[in-house]
Amino acid sequence: MREITMGDAIQEGIVEEMRRDERVYTLGYAVGPHAGSITRPLASIYDEFGPERVRETGIIEPLVAGSSVGAALAGLRPIADFSTVDFMFPALNEILGFAGMWHYEHGGADDMRIPVVFRGAIRTYGGAGAEHSRAPIALFWHAPGLKLVIPTTPYDAKGLIKTAIRDDNPVIFLEPARLYQVKGPVPEEEYLISFGQANIRREGKDVTIVAVGYMVTFSLQAAGDLEKEGIATEVIDPRTLEPLDIDTILGSAKKTGRLVIVDEDHIRCGVGAEIAFQVQEQLFKSLKAPVKRVGNLNRPHPVNQVLINDVMPTKEKIIAAVKETLAAV
């Protein structure tokens, strides 16, 4: 099977859906012929689809989100490219309040469906400073009415973006920027990946790691090092948080009796807190140790790499958390 990068896999999925359905288009401040968006490559599709379906907007985030909601209500299927997830913050009213709520607020009417994809890259390890390095995963997960997708492989990225575009609900599609250039096998024939199906990226019997986004990479590296010490670690990639495949997580945690959750968002009120509580709520008597969380230490993101490693998850921190769960009695 051919191997392509995750960035190319996402673009390929978008192009296929634009060819399949003329209602699909993409917009953003940097998606045109001279695009500088971090979610590139997109500029190469401008020649095929033109300015009507690859629309540059300028740096006006509320317009990008608000016009996408309106277009979706009118029957189109927009892909709103915010380049980096931080740029969604100026448009939160349109994303959380309008896209997420209106279908419900209008009684679930079919003509009030909002099929829009909001794309944004997570850049927590890029040294871009506090305003451009956030990972507000829990923020979007907390908001009702939104689906939340975070791919970690080229195969998953293409299958999930195609599913997101076809979904009749608003989808937050977050892309780990560090994985854009990572290659992996992607079939040329069409395929989709259903939401709500976690991927067991590595099987093990001693401890379960649930990792989100780029943290899957660190967790797999940690599992490899732990194997040398005789510790068999199971690594689960949820792929989507809304819907969440809690059954796969529960099955693994019940088998191992130990759970570590790794997330690049803030620890406080974060993804780890929610998953940990669901697990202990249903599996309290099966757990052999308290659930451990590894994440951002509730601090703004620094620029310096040494400070980033101090604040953010690392392979070494994951290994330490695993060993703490194994040492607990």
Catalytic residues, by residue number, are: 132
Phi, psi of 312 (to 5 degrees): -100, 165
Q: Bridge-partner residues for 207, per DSSP?
A: 233
Contact between residue 54 and residue 45 where contact means Cβ atoms under 8 Å apart: yes
